[in-house]
Chains A and B, each alone.
Chain A
Amino acid sequence: MPAVSKGDGMRGLAVFISDIRNCKSKEAEIKRINKELANIRSKFKGDKALDGYSKKKYVCKLLFIFLLGHDIDFGHMEAVNLLSSNKYTEKQIGYLFISVLVNSNSELIRLINNAIKNDLSSRNPTFMCLALHCIANVGSREMAEAFASEIPRILVAGDTMDSVKQSAALCLLRLYKTSPDLVLMGEWTSRVVHLLNDQHMGVVTAAISLITCLSQKNPDEFKTCVSLAVSRLSRIVSSASTDLQDYTYYFVPAPWLSCKLLRLLQCYPPPEDGAVKGRLVECLETILNKAQEPPKSKKVQHSNAKNAILFEAISLIIHYDSEPNLLVRACNQLGQFLQHRETNLRYLALESMCTLASSEFSHEAVKTHIETVINALKTERDVSVRQRAADLLYAMCDRSNAKQIVAEMLSYLETADYSIREEMVLKVAILAEKYAVDYSWYVDTILNLIRIAGDYVSEEVWYRVIQIVINRDDVQGYAAKTVFEALQAPACHENMVKVGGYILGEFGNLIAGDPRSSPLVQFNLLHSKFHLCSVPTRALLLSAYIKFINLFPETKATIQEVLRCDSQIRNSDVELQQRAVEYLKLSSIASTDVLATVLEEMPPFPERESSILAKLKKKKGPGAVSVTELEDGKRESGELNGGGDRGQDAASTPSPSADLLGIRSSAPVSAAPASAGSLLVDVFSEAGPAAPSGAVNDDGFLRFVCKNNGVLFENQLLQIGIKSEYRQNLGRMYLFYGNKTSVQFASFTTTVNCPGELQSHILQSKPVEPLVEGGAQIQQVLNIECLTDFSDAPLLNIKFRYGGALQNLTLKLPVTINKFFQPTEMASQDFFQRWKQLSQPQQEAQKIFKANHGMDTEVIKAKLLGLGMALLDNVDPNPENYVCAGVIQTKSQQVGCLLRLEPNAQAQMYRLTLRCSKDSVSKRLCELLAQQF
Chain B
Amino acid sequence: MIKAILIFNNHGKPRLSKFYEHYNEDTEQQIIRETFHLVSKRDENVCNFLEGGLLIGGSDYKLIYRHYATLYFVFCVDSSESELGILDLIQVFVETLDKCFENVCELDLIFHVDKVHHILAEMVMGGMVLETNMNEIIMQVDAQNKMEKSEAGIAGAPARAVSAVKNMNLPEMPKNINIGDISIKVPNLPSFK
* Interface residues, chain A, with chain B CB atoms under 8 Å away: 2-11, 13-15, 17-19, 21-22, 51-53, 60, 63-64, 66-69, 71, 87-89, 92-93, 96, 100, 103-104, 126, 132-133, 136-137, 139, 163, 166-167, 170-171, 173-174, 201-202, 205-206, 209, 212, 246-247, 249, 255-257, 259, 263, 299-301, 304-305, 307-308, 311-312, 343-344, 346-348, 381-382, 384-385, 387, 620-621, 623-624
Select B159's contact among A6, A53, A387, beta carbons within 8 Å: A53
- Contact, CB under 8 Å: B100 / A3: yes
**B147 A299 Cβ-Cβ under 8 A:** no
Q: Tell me, rounded to whole Å, the shortest Cβ–Cβ distance linking B25 to chain A.
A: 6
Name the distance in Å between A509's Cβ and chain B's nearest Cβ.
46
| A-B contacts, 23 listed (Cβ < 8 Å) | A3-B101, A3-B145, A4-B115, A9-B111, A11-B167, A60-B114, A69-B32, A103-B24, A136-B126, A137-B126, A171-B126, A174-B126, A174-B128, A202-B130, A206-B128, A206-B129, A209-B128, A246-B135, A308-B82, A308-B88, A311-B84, A344-B49, A348-B84
Contact between A301 and B176 (Cβ–Cβ < 8 Å)?
A: no
Residues of B within 8 A of A69 (CB): 14, 25, 29, 32
> In the assembly, what is the distance between CA of A335 and CA of B75, in Å?
28
Complex-state Cα separation, A881 to B105, whole angstroms: 72
A126-B143 CB under 8 A given contacts A263-B82, A621-B59: yes
Contact of B177 among A18, A308, A381, A623 (CB under 8 A): A18
Distance of A170 Cα from B143 Cα, bound (Å) = 21
CA distance A133 to B51 in the complex (A): 29
Interfacial residues of chain B within 20-78, with CB under 8 A of chain A in the complex: 20, 22, 24-25, 29, 32, 42-43, 45-51, 58-60
CA distance A506 to B136 in the complex (A): 75
A17 / chain B contacts, CB cutoff of 8 Å: 110-111
B89 within 8 A of A: yes
Partner of A3, one of B127, B130, B142: B142
The interface residues of chain B lying within 8 Å CB-to-CB of A256 are 85, 88-89, 129, 132
Q: Cα distance A52–B133 when bound, in Å? A: 33
Give the secondary structure class of B's interface. helix
How near does chain B come to A774, taking the closest CB pair, in angstroms?
A: 49
Contact of A205 among B50, B99, B131, B145 (CB under 8 A): B131
Q: Which residues of B contact A167 (CB under 8 A)?
A: 125, 130
Which chain A positions have C-beta within 8 A of B82? 259, 263, 308, 311-312
A214 to chain B, nearest CB (A): 13
Contacting pair B130 A385 (CB below 8 A): no
The chain B residues found within 8 Å of chain A, CB to CB, are 14-18, 20, 22, 24-25, 29, 32, 42-43, 45-51, 58-60, 79-80, 82-85, 87-89, 91-92, 99-102, 108, 110-115, 117-118, 121, 125-136, 138, 140-145, 147-148, 151-152, 155-156, 159-160, 162-163, 166-167, 173, 176-178, 191, 193
Q: List residues of chain A with CB within 8 A of the CB of B17.
A: 67
Which residues of chain A come closer than 8 Å to B111, judged between CB atoms? 6, 9, 13-14, 17
Query: Nearest-CB distance from B85 to chain A (Å)?
Result: 5
A5 and B49 in contact, given A202-B133, A621-B60 (Cβ under 8 angstroms): no
Complex CA–CA separation, A19 to B177 (angstroms) = 9
**Selected contact of B193 from candidates A163, A174, A299, CB within 8 Å:** A299
Q: Are B130 and A170 within 8 A (Cβ)?
A: yes
User: What is the minimal beta-carbon distance from B110 to any residue of chain A, in angstroms?
Assistant: 6
Chain B residue nearest in CB terms to A103: B22
Nearest B residue (CB) for A162: B136
Instruction: For residue A96, give the distance in angstroms from its CB to the closest CB of chain B.
Output: 6
Chain A contacts for B100, CB-based, 8 A: 2-4
Q: Are the CB atoms of A92 and B166 closer together than 8 Å?
A: no
Q: With A21-B177, A259-B85, A381-B43 known to touch, is A67 a contact of B112 (CB < 8 Å)?
A: no
Tell me the minimal C-beta distance from B162 to chain A in angstroms: 8
